[in-house]
Amino acid sequence: MNRLKITVGVLFFLIQSAICFGQSKPAGPFKRVFVIMLENEDLDMVMKDVNFKRIADSGTLITNYDGVTHPSQPNYIATIGGDIFYKTNGNYGDGTVNINATNLVDLLQAKKVSWKAYMEDLPENNKTVSSYPAQTPLYFRKHNPFISYINNQQPPRLNYIVNAKRLSTDLAQNTVPSFCWYSPNIQNDGHTPPPPCNQRIAGGDTCHIGYAGRWLKGFIGMLQSYPSFTDSTLIVITFDESWTQSKGGKNVVGPIYTLLMGPAGVIPKGLQYAGCPTGKTKPLCRYDHYSLLAVIENIFGLGSLGRNDKTALTFEAIWKKK
């Protein structure tokens, strides 16, 4: 009986490994994509912060990149789903939503590309929590797009939506998967830092941005202490949406700070990029979260979800040589 239990256990492990740590490899210069999403600021305000400016000098800043909409949550959901799904789920805004639709995880698993979503302060014993209880005041479900898709809410997929403390172990053991998402908590992402920065000033303010910038400086420094990670990873730092929502009587969704960092010689350092794909001209040439989704799909050869990702402009010209 014990031998049978061991055999069954080994078989289960091998099956899970095949599903989540398959052999499919990206064809381009990156073995891994690591996305970090921060909160609610305009590009020009962010670039006034010393830490964000210095980090931008270490990579390529896309200056014509926008959010998709307002408020926050639909931008997260769009980034991995190719749509905001208002037609099928109503105008859920920042409220709890459960979406019955395919998403990036479906594409990743179909191609056996390993993935993990790291969420700061996620309660591991209640990953689908729909409110912000006193015991987890720093974790906000609306900043975790993976859990809003119904087909990610049960194991085995749920096993790969984890508390961000797991990242340090994965880095130390060189087991960070091929696609990673990282959501800082409600303070570190700049949304609601602790006092005295907890009161938002109209037009954005340096206190929120400064707090997020200091966190990001430390976090990027930690990642860079693992050369085996950074030497093969495309790191994408972006914001969900702009702080400014209207200008001149018109709705606006950007631009937002979106930075690419990657291996030496692949992602240019200190470049501010506003290029357009062949056949596209300014001011119509704008990138957004659908562009990021499409780029992730292209890097791993996933195909598309057939939504806005299918027609989104992509910024791969930054590293693809002519």
Give the catalytic positions in this structure.
205
Cα gap 101→84, rounded to integer Å: 11
Helix (H, G, I), strand (E, B) or coil at 312: coil
Rg for the chain (alpha carbons), in Å?
19
What sign for the dihedral angle of Cα 117, 303, 151, 308? Answer: positive
Phi and psi at residue 181, in whole multiples of 5°? -120, 140
Cα gap 152→296, rounded to integer Å: 19
Kindly give the interhelix angle for 72-81 and 289-300, rounded to the nearest 10 degrees: 30
Phi and psi at residue 70, in whole multiples of 5°? -130, 150
Cα gap 106→109, rounded to integer Å: 5
What sign for the dihedral angle of Cα 107, 286, 313, 264? Answer: negative
Cα gap 238→256, rounded to integer Å: 7
Least Cα distance to 313 among 303, 298, 321, 301 occurs for 298
Asked if residues 267 and 286 have their Cβ atoms less than 8 Å apart, the reply is no
> DSSP character for 147?
G
Phi and psi at residue 37, in whole multiples of 5°? -115, 125
